[in-house]
């Protein structure tokens, strides 16, 4: 990883983005204040914020592994371990099943995206022009991965204690209230579990319409059980539309 990080540094200091680099440098100082952590090796922070699309756009070596993806991989494991450890300590009377469900919500893409937006991480990312134009700075998959890469960067910079402090202060803050926010509740799982508990047929999700232009579609999905309509929902993605349909079904069934 050090080899490609060095390549990134050389690229940053080159002529290609010389006029943009100082602005990014200043914004990284703002980000460090925001996350309440100052990097000893700023290169790690830069690597964590340099999306693979930017590297592929500006470096010809596609065989070289992206530090962003590698850091996301390690950060995911660190996050899972620390969250498990904290929940174990904070909820001494809870059964394993409830702790597992709570952990899965906290490490979910939706929850991490919520936390990424709270830190405004999207504006600090280096993305390819194509990814930028397609709304990459707001994509949940990219934002959640960035949180994990950032956790890894902090860990590599100064160890597990600093990574733990960041997770406790930025990720686990008010988590019990946050996981119950409407957009973070997994209505599909709730509906599935309710129907299973009654030994009933699981729901089916059917996309019945796609509205709007190709770059800004709205999907309409129905949740059905057999021929019965349980609920209908709309969303910018099929996944979100399914969640809305499941939410409507839960309301209809009183669960």
pLDDT at residue 181, rounded to an integer: 79
- The fold of 2-183 is Ribonuclease iii, N-terminal Endonuclease Domain; Chain A (1.10.1520)
Q: In the sheet that 204-211 helps form, which strands lie side by side, from edge to edge?
A: 204-211, 218-225, 228-235
Q: Where are the domains of the chain?
A: 2-183, 186-253
pLDDT at 13 over 60: no
DSSP 38: -
Average pLDDT over residues 39-61: 82
Distance separating alpha carbons of residues 70 and 151, to the nearest angstrom: 12
Q: Which of 104, 108, 156, 128 is nearest to 50 (CA)?
A: 128
For the annotated catalytic residues, the residue numbers are 76, 148
Encode burial over 231-246: b for 16+ CB neighbours within 10 A, e otherwise.
bbbebeeebbbbbbbb
Q: Is the Cβ–Cβ distance between 210 and 184 less than 8 Å?
A: no
Q: What is the CATH number that goes with domain 186-253?
A: 3.30.160.20
pLDDT at 19 over 50: no
Distance separating alpha carbons of residues 148 and 75, to the nearest angstrom: 4
pLDDT at 252 over 60: yes
Q: What is the pLDDT of residues 161-194, one digit of tens each?
A: 999 999 999 999 999 888 877 767 788 988 998 9
Average pLDDT over residues 127-134: 86
Question: Is there a common fold for 2-183 and 186-253?
Answer: no
What does the angle CA 92 – CA 94 – CA 95 come to, to the nearest 5 degrees? 125
Average pLDDT over residues 80-88: 97
pLDDT at residue 17, rounded to an integer: 47
Model pTM score: 0.73
């Amino acid at each position: 990883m050090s080899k490609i990080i060095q390549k990134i540094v050389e690229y940053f200091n080159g002529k290609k983005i010389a006029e943009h680099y100082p602005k990014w440098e200043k914004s990284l100082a703002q980000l460090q204040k925001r996350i309440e952590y100052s990097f000893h090796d700023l290169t790690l922070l830069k690597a964590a914020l340099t999306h693979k699309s930017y590297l592929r756009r500006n470096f010809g070596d596609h065989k070289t592994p992206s530090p962003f993806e590698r850091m996301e991989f390690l950060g995911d494991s660190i996050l899972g371990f620390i969250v498990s450890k904290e929940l174990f300590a904070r909820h001494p009377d809870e059964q394993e099943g409830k702790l597992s469900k709570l952990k899965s919500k906290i490490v979910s893409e939706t929850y991490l995206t919520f936390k990424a937006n709270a830190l405004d991480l999207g504006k600090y990312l280096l993305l390819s022009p194509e990814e930028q134009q397609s709304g990459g700075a707001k994509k949940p998959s990219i934002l959640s991965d960035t949180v994990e890469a950032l956790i890894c960067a902090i860990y590599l910079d100064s160890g597990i204690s600093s990574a733990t402090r960041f997770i406790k202060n930025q990720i686990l803050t008010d988590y019990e209230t946050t996981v119950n926010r409407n957009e973070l509740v997994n209505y599909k799982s709730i509906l599935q579990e309710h129907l299973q508990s009654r030994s009933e047929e699981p729901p089916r999700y059917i996309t019945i319409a796609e509205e709007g232009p190709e770059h800004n579609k709205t999907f309409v999905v129905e949740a059905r059980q057999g021929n019965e309509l349980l609920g209908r929902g709309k969303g910018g993605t099929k996944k979100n539309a399914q969640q809305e349909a499941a939410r409507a079904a839960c309301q209809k069934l009183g669960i």
